[in-house]
Structure 1
Amino acid sequence: MAVQETAVDRAALFELLTRMGDNTLILGHRVSEWCGLSPVLEEDIALANVALDLIGQTQLWLGLAGEVEGKGRTADNLAYLRDAGGFRNLLLVERPNGDFGQTLMRQFLFDAWHFEMLKALEKSTDARVAEIAAKSVKEVAYHVERSTDLIIRLGDGTDESRARMQAALDDQWSYTGEMFLADEADKAVAAAGIAPDPESLRAAWQTVVTSVLEEATLVIPTEPYAHKGGKRGVHTEHLGFILAQMQFLQRAYPGARW
């Protein structure tokens, strides 16, 4: 498919596409780590399906990123042959799984943002971006519904489950602010109508998150500090361990195919 000309610098568009693709790739890998280890069989299957959805979305975002870049890199090249500094995912999604409550809280906080982002991207002036968003948002609508239900059930459950969910929320809240921070690439694609200004998503995200957490009887932290850096390639040590596992086969046997 020929790359269409856009009214924005290719580098800025490439940043948007890799950020979207890296978020789903890294979170998809994290979620897949639960396969065979979930507390109940139903959750094992559900988490595997969520991971597959996210990896499928990754192929679309990184595939388009490779086309826009114009250097002959494919989705596989971008996934398996970049070092940690080349990844643009939010720090939240590379956080360790922890216990089941921590995994679910991370998923919910991301899902609520992801859904709002995809709804906005459906209106993108770039038809290719809008098409990927329209396909992905249907899957993510289920992700939000599922994680919302579990957050409420466990938060408003036993003393033990509530304590674990509150601990997970306290631990991860400071990683959510990065979702709404804008840099020059964000400003460029927003000005071209290709993607929303990240800050414009905050109000809808907060409305959803506040409603769900209150129903779950959880206390929203008031700490204003926001961890950041992932969107510009500055990551925690956790990403290196993910890539060491995820990229091993391709690095050890370059160009290997099934």
Structure 2
Amino acid sequence: MNQDLYQFALRLADTSLTMGQRLAEWCGHGPYLEEDVALTNVSLDLIGHAQMFYQLACDNSETSTSPDDLAFLRDVPEYRNPLITELPRGDFAYTTLKQYFIDVYHLHLYQQLSVSSDEQLAALAQKALMEVKYHLSRSEAWCQRLSLSTEEAHEKMQKALDDLWFYTPELFETDESMQRLMTASVIPDMGAIQTVWQQQTEQLLEDCQLAKPENGWMATGGLVGEHTEHLGYMLADMQFLQRAYPGCEW
């Protein structure tokens, strides 16, 4: 069971870390000062969540390791984040919609993890949930503002939806390890999470007058370490300092 929880904690941590890193790229490039600060704060929250879940992974690891080792000394095939979080930053509409999809996912996932049979996981989920609620209120409001404002903003939101929608089903993929955790009530039924996620996101798309794309190709691979080329470039930037100066600490 420890190895199963280790793998799941990595998935949580890698998802938050890659999302946080992409949002950090907006620092100094936000549409205006207040939003620049808000994006940076959400980025810091997500990186903080990653640190918590990396520590959980370390506590369940069969080898001696640290959160820094997991964040900075693994290569692309060892990461377990879904592909959507490693995609390039894109424009503000693209970032906003991607963040909304992840926020809804985290909201429902952490709500259920808060009553996990694993007390440590439950406590971490409860802590992260407080910040995720703010993240969602912000990204949801921005989706509405952009979609229902100018024609250009609406077109950019529709393009972002067309580009991102087929990456979202991967958020709910499971493997044998996660199935065992679900059986033990350590993690929730991901199918049920997907159902409530879809209901909430589709209602927002309707409210925002955005047309959901037709069924088609679906992204997959992150859960088994198969990633896009974008993750390699991200890690090259993110891991440079630790690899250039092994063992360095703030």
TMscore range, shorter length: over 0.9
CA shift for structure 1 position 224: 4.0
CA shift for structure 1 position 15: 1.0
- 1:90 is matched with 82
For these two proteins, the number of residue pairs brought into alignment is 250
Q: 1:135 aligns with which of 127, 132, 137?
A: 127
Structure 1 stretches of 5 or more lacking a match?
1-8
Q: 1:167 aligns with which of 155, 159, 165?
A: 159
Tell me, yes or no, if structure 1 residue 10 matches structure 2 residue 2: yes
- 1:190 is matched with 182
Q: Deviations for 1:18-63, whole angstroms, at most 9, x for unmatched residues?
A: 0000000010000000000011111101101100100111111001
Tell me, yes or no, if structure 1 residue 147 matches structure 2 residue 133: no
CA shift for structure 1 position 257: 2.4
TM-score by length of 1: 0.95
Q: 2:93 aligns with which of 97, 101, 109?
A: 101
Q: Deviations for 1:125-172, whole angstroms, at most 9, x for unmatched residues?
A: 000000000000010011111000000110111100000000000000
CA shift for structure 1 position 199: 1.1
Instruction: Determine if contact 2:9/2:53 at 8 Å carries over to the other structure.
Output: yes
- 1:32 is matched with 24
Q: 1:206 aligns with which of 185, 190, 198?
A: 198
Q: Which amino acid aligns with 1:100?
A: F
CA shift for structure 1 position 222: 2.0
Q: Which amino acid aligns with 2:19?
A: L
Query: Identity over the aligned pairs, expressed in percent?
Result: 42
Whole-angstrom CA distance in 2 between matches of 1:58 and 1:101: 24
Instruction: Determine if contact 2:13/2:49 at 8 Å carries over to the other structure.
Output: yes
Whole-angstrom CA distance in 2 between matches of 1:186 and 1:257: 33
- 1:53 is matched with 45
Which region of structure 1 is more displaced relative to structure 2, 208-217 or 158-167? 208-217
- 1:240 is matched with 232
Tell me, yes or no, if structure 1 residue 176 matches structure 2 residue 168: yes
TM-score by length of 2: 0.98
Q: 1:110 aligns with which of 84, 93, 102?
A: 102
Structure 2 stretches of 5 or more lacking a match?
none
Runs ≥4 in structure 1, deviation > 6 angstroms? Answer: none
Q: Which amino acid aligns with 1:59?
A: Q
Find the residue that maps to 1:69 and give its secondary structure.
coil
